[in-house]
Amino acid sequence: MFTSTTSPQTPLAASSYPHDKGRFKIIIAYWVVLIIAAPVWWVLTTVERLPLPETRVKQVGSKHIRIPVDINIDVADGLCDATTLAAKLQIAWDKSHQVELNDIWNVLDVRMGALGSHRSDKSHAVYNITIRYGYDNDPAIVLDRSFEVFSRSGCDEQLVGKVTSSLRTLLTPPTRNTGLRVAQYSPRYRLAFSLLNEDAAYGGAISGWSIERAIEEYLQPTLDELNILHNFTIESQVQFYAPLTTEPTEAQDGYTLDQEQLTIFVNSAEWTLSSSVSNDPVLHFVLFVPSHARRPLYIQDSQGKITQFNSFLVPQWGGIAILNPRSEGTANSVLSPHDLKPIFHIFRKQLEGLLGVPALPPPFDLRLDRGSTSKQVLSGWQLDTLLRRRTLENIQGSVQTLSSIVGLAGQIENMPIGSSVRDDVLSALEELSQTHNATYPTQTLTHSALSLQLASRAFFNPTMVGLLYFPAEHKYAVYTPLFAPIAVPLVVSVIRELKSRRKGAASTGGSRLKAE
């Protein structure tokens, strides 16, 4: 008969990891929770990347735009045959219209023909050129959407060159040097007119101005003609203390500001130039009145000479004119509409420059015949050219923005692309396609502007930009201190539990053998 005896525990057995079924269940429960929570955590932390229409964006970028322009040639007084002259002008135009690949005017498709040879099409711009008998050196008369050229020698090469040069000036004005000056297109602008007295405490300040009558008389005709492109909101103010950030240079006839001082002329810290709250871009027009102690104040050009109009333009911001009151006393005065006429002539030219209105050639080449009672200040040539320029700029900007979005999405793997970004990209592409199907040029401009707005909104979407500069290394740096203290005890406890169960199974098997 066998009797079992219990051997005394050794120090190693006393320090061993004892097996406990309750503890094992707790460890299993922890791991079950982690396994179940891992997919949930993965779904919640995974960056949403919806597919973008890359193929459509590439197709839009490679699609060539053509803007048809029909020119009707009419020859009066029997100088020559209109069809023959139109053929000569077409050849001369094709030879002279050699523009760079990145020039926006390479999309024009100018087609010349005798008067009545073109079919009526509302989507085409139509212009008329009339050749009349007269002196060869007479300037051409520019009408709304036509102009007249005079010739005594018939339809010779001199006339062909003169007409071609005039057409090139009217249809393809230079844009290279005006790109930085012109404000970015917007369907709405706020025009802020500010009368700033440097320091009214010295006396002789301008306490008021007839701004409403001046705008109605001198500026409203221009705003009405530009209404096909923009809607304008006007505000005005008068300030009696607007100090300069620079000290004018004292000269023999007064005080002067050089070109370097003009760069810091606007004192944004102390001048309150915009009063209303709006998201519309603002174009500022400032009439600055120097203090009585600094009069007269003039502007010098780069050669040190006094400028003619005593004004300057701040690119994409606005225009500034300096007024030196004629009164020598210290009494304040009010500017009448007559006093504001030369000032608003300057403001009107500055507004046209900021909006990209092309200027007509000098008077000795072309002149605009407006008539004695007409209030027209811009010709149809200028408005059509401006409309085409703004449309092409919007289309190019939209295509470049969409291509940038697709390029960034391919380069940055963790950049989120949500439904709002994808919907804006699709809507921008749809508006771009509508620009080719629009019937009227104004509709084309509207679709192109909306396309650029949607593309820009997608590019600067907060959900996309928020994690744009958050690489995977940052994610590891955030999660490692959080999960490492939890993972190490769980892994160690599982290892020790497995070892304990293995030792327990081995000791149980040995006891059974001894018992047998």
Integer Cα distance of 75 and 142 in angstroms: 16
Count Cα atoms within 13 angstroms, Cβ side, for 259.
Answer: 6
Q: How many CB atoms lie within 10 A of CB 409?
A: 20
Please report the pLDDT score of residue 6 as a whole number.
46
Query: Integer distance in angstroms from the first to the last C-alpha of the chain?
Result: 11
Please report the pLDDT score of residue 316 as a whole number.
93
Please report the pLDDT score of residue 373 as a whole number.
45
Please report the pLDDT score of residue 470 as a whole number.
63
The residues, ordered by sequence, that sit 6+ positions from 416 with a Cβ below 8 Å of its Cβ are: 47, 48, 49, 463, 464, 466, 467
Quote the radius of gyration of the chain (alpha carbons, Å).
38
In Å, how far are 195, 223, 277, 306, 333 from 293, measured between CA atoms?
A: 18, 37, 35, 20, 17
Angle formed by the axes of helices 21-45 and 472-515, nearest 10°: 160
Q: Is the dihedral of CA 437, 443, 444, 447 positive or negative?
A: negative
Q: What is the mean pLDDT of each run of 10 residues along the chain (516 residues)?
A: 46 49 79 85 78 91 84 87 91 78 78 80 81 83 85 85 87 79 92 94 89 95 94 94 91 90 89 78 95 91 89 94 81 90 96 90 54 68 92 93 91 84 94 85 91 93 70 74 81 82 70 58
Please report the pLDDT score of residue 269 as a whole number.
84
What are φ and ψ of residue 149, in 5° steps?
Answer: -120, 140
In Å, how far are 80, 384, 481 from 378, measured between CA atoms?
A: 32, 10, 69
Integer Cα distance of 199 and 408 in angstroms: 52
In Å, how far are 107, 292, 494 from 32, measured between CA atoms?
A: 66, 85, 13
Alpha helix ranges (H) inside 173-219? 211-214
Integer Cα distance of 462 and 418 in angstroms: 10
Residue from 294, 288, 281 nearest 265 by CA: 288
